[in-house]
Amino acid sequence: MEPITEVAQTDQRVRRRRVFYIPGYDPFHPRRYRELYRKEGEAQAQISGYELGLKPKKTGGAYGWHVTTNIKEVVTDADVEVLVWSDIVKTSMSRGILATYAQLVRTAYAYIASGALFRLAGLRKGPMIAALYPFVFLLVQLFLAILAGWGVGMLVSAVHPVLGWAAGLGVLWAVLRAFKRWDNKVFAYYLMHDYAYSAQAGGANPPELEARMTAFRLSIRAALSAGFDEVLVVGHSSGAHLSVSILADLLREGLPQDTAKIGFLSLGQVVPMVSFLPKARRLRADLHYLAAQDRLVWVDVTAPGDGCAFALCDPVAVTGVAPEAKVWPLVISAAFTQTLSPARWKALRWKFFRLHFQYLCAFDRPGHYDYFQITAGPLSLADRYRDRAASKSRIERPASGYRDMA
């Protein structure tokens, strides 16, 4: 598969671009995204035959960078800003062991009692396996801790029953604490907190997140009239459904005059995990509204090889809120089995969390999807995908049991 390098276009559509990247549920410092962009961007430029370089950011914002590309002697500048909500994520993850197990019970109840779990399972098996993983893994950890505590307690109780109980409980707690310390290897606690954060209010956004989304919207609005040719919002994983609501609010309140083109790129989205919940009325209304807007372009990129995303599931259609005048999103596949070399696909195939970030990385045979040309190349998102057809294998069957909207 030959890479697309914009050479068919003789005119430069975008000279200056502002990119807002909204990450998913991620507690880490946003510098990791700069380093990922630098490393993978250099690799993609070498593979595809163009130049890409990073410099310190030239705009405001908490964290970002400036990137310049030279593609067939056409130079484009882009300012990338990470819209940070990792502090909110860290706070939500600061719960102890007992609180996490309480979360497990509440989250399981939220998805099972609402029927969302079974409806989601009918869309894609991959993300449901990923969703069940922390539940199963944490319960296995609890079982092993109880087993270890029981064994030690039985031995010590031969000396004294009270000491046996104390020793058993001590070992149980020590084993659970050890599992929590090792979570950076297995991510059971991390994923549990992720799903619990979305489910805690039945799909409604917590107040602190709504406040942060308002701040994000104001930053995007300011960029629209700052002389850029395109303002591109990239929402990855959970960041995709945040982007939907932010952009819907932005368009509802009206755009400034002489506004830049607006592009919305959703990557590895997990929208149904939230939109299928009973109180996600705000998100369902935003999906319904954004799908019919002609003031932006929305391209949704997923891949069946990404087991953590609802691959090729049209987030508007499967939620059951598609308007009659629906035009977005354009659902396409990153097709990992085709865009990665056989050797690289073999190396990454079972690294599920790494594959969930592949959209932000270099591809051996990028074809129509090159993250770095999309975010820093001379074509707008609209021009790049103007003649691109949606994936024939996309899923559009309405599956949510809740379709009421705010």
- What tokens were used for 58? 């030239």
**How many domains does one find in the chain?**
2
- What tokens were used for 160? 């004294």
Identify the pLDDT of residue 230: 97
Residue 304 backbone class (left: φ over 0; alpha: ψ -120 to 50; beta: rest): alpha
CA distances to 187, 188, 192 from 181, rounded to whole Å, are: 10, 11, 15
DSSP state of 358: G
In a domain, 359, yes or no: yes
Amino acid in position 133: Y
Looking at the fold, whether 56 and 135 belong to one and the same domain comes out as: no
Identify the pLDDT of residue 185: 82
Nearest of 213, 263, 266 to residue 238 by alpha carbon = 266
The reported pTM is 0.93
* E strand map for 50-158: 51-56, 64-71, 74-82
In a domain, 8, yes or no: no
Nearest of 391, 262, 382 to residue 9 by alpha carbon = 382
Identify the pLDDT of residue 8: 47
Alpha carbons within 13 A on the beta-carbon side of 264: 29
Identify the pLDDT of residue 61: 73
- As a whole number of angstroms, the distance between CA 1 and CA 50 comes to 17
Identify the pLDDT of residue 1: 43
Looking at the fold, whether 35 and 81 belong to one and the same domain comes out as: yes
Amino acid in position 283: L
Rg (alpha carbons) of the chain, rounded to whole number: 23
Identify the pLDDT of residue 10: 41
Alpha carbons within 13 A on the beta-carbon side of 217: 20
Identify the pLDDT of residue 158: 86
Identify the pLDDT of residue 58: 78
Mean pLDDT by 10 residues, the chain (406 residues): 46 88 92 95 96 88 91 94 95 91 94 93 86 92 95 90 91 94 87 90 94 96 94 97 98 89 96 96 98 96 94 97 96 95 93 93 93 96 94 95 93
Residue 211, domain CATH: 3.40.50
In a domain, 164, yes or no: yes
Can you tell me whether residue 277 is helix, strand or coil? coil
- As a whole number of angstroms, the distance between CA 351 and CA 148 comes to 30
Identify the pLDDT of residue 7: 43
In a domain, 334, yes or no: yes
Q: Taking the chain, what is the end-to-end CA distance rounded to the nearest angstrom?
A: 44
Domain boundaries, position 227: 16-87+206-253+261-384
